[in-house]
Amino acid sequence: MLKIPLEKLKPYIALIRPSNFIITALSVLVSCILAGATRPMIAEMLAASLAAGMIGAGGMVINDYFDVEIDRINKPMRPLPSGAVTLRAAVVFWIFLSFLGLSLNIVLPLSAAAIAILAVVIIFYYSKVLKRTPLFGNLTVGALTGLAFIYGGAAVGNINRAIMPAVFAFLINVGREIIKDMEDVYGDSQQNAATFPIKFGMRHSAVLASIFLCAVIGSTIIPFVNQQYGSAYFITVNIGVNAVLIAVLASLWKNQSQHNLRRLSSILKYDMFIGLLAIYLG
């Protein structure tokens, strides 16, 4: 039996960012449940969750591939700029992950398979072109995150119930992506990337990120008022999500150092877990 030393696997694991894989897979799994998946659909639910995780992981790899020069400045210890993984190996790894993710769609409806193919194409185009454009790149990431919920609904044949979670995911991720661009402004400017903070400045970026994060807080009220989700959702989302978002907003305006912006970006990523829990409880 072929054994691969763990030390050789570590940079590849770091490349896919396991926490992002888990968030993506859980997002789709929760979306399937919200869309009315039944016990006999367990195979479709698992296939969709793993497929989304694999495609998302591939997106992390190809994104780092195109960002390697910027990461030599901003994140020199990442697998590609540090040389732990070669650029050629990264491309092969992206193809492998994307192919594996698409292959899992063989047990899913055609609508889900079409969304998966679309996601792979958008991820590649975003990584190569859109990421370096002001706002369009941020909106694309938000749309892809929201699309994960739509994909989960399509996997079990009910997209309508996935729309509200998709809206939440879109809004919070656009806000987070703007904050990430603020964090990376120095390295991006060295590579002539025309991100929103470079084009319009840190203050305007903070305003825009705040608008999206405030929109998340406002939108959480809608499904409770419409009686789509119950009191367990409302309590959890306010204590576990909205309170955190308010703290993030306060910190964003108080301290825009690279270290703090990185911290806020991480907080927002993990706050999505609480958001998923709130939606599930609802």
What pLDDT, on a 0 to 100 scale, did the predictor assign at position 1?
43
pLDDT tens track, the chain, 282 positions:
445 566 778 889 999 988 889 888 988 998 898 888 888 889 999 999 999 999 999 999 999 999 888 888 878 889 899 988 899 999 999 999 999 999 999 999 999 999 999 999 999 999 998 887 888 889 998 999 899 999 999 999 888 888 888 898 899 999 999 999 999 887 777 767 778 999 899 999 999 999 999 999 999 888 888 887 888 988 998 998 999 999 999 999 999 999 999 999 999 988 888 887 888 787
Which pLDDT does position 57 carry in this prediction? 95
Query: Which pTM does this prediction carry?
Result: 0.83
Q: Find where tokens 């691969």 sit.
A: 4
- The tokens of 11 are what? 């940079």
DSSP 60-120: HHHHHHHTHHHHHHH-TTSHHHHTSS-HHHHHHHHHHHHHHHHHGGGGS-HHHHHHHHHHH
Give the closest residue to 43 by CA, choosing from 115, 105, 112.
105
| Alpha-carbon span 55 to 58, nearest angstrom | 5
Cβ proximity of 30 and 155 under 8 Å: no
**Cβ–Cβ contacts within 10 Å for residue 110, how many?**
9
Q: Enumerate domains of the chain plus CATH numbers.
A: 12-281 (1.10.357.140)
Task: Please tell me the predicted confidence (pLDDT) of residue 214.
Answer: 96
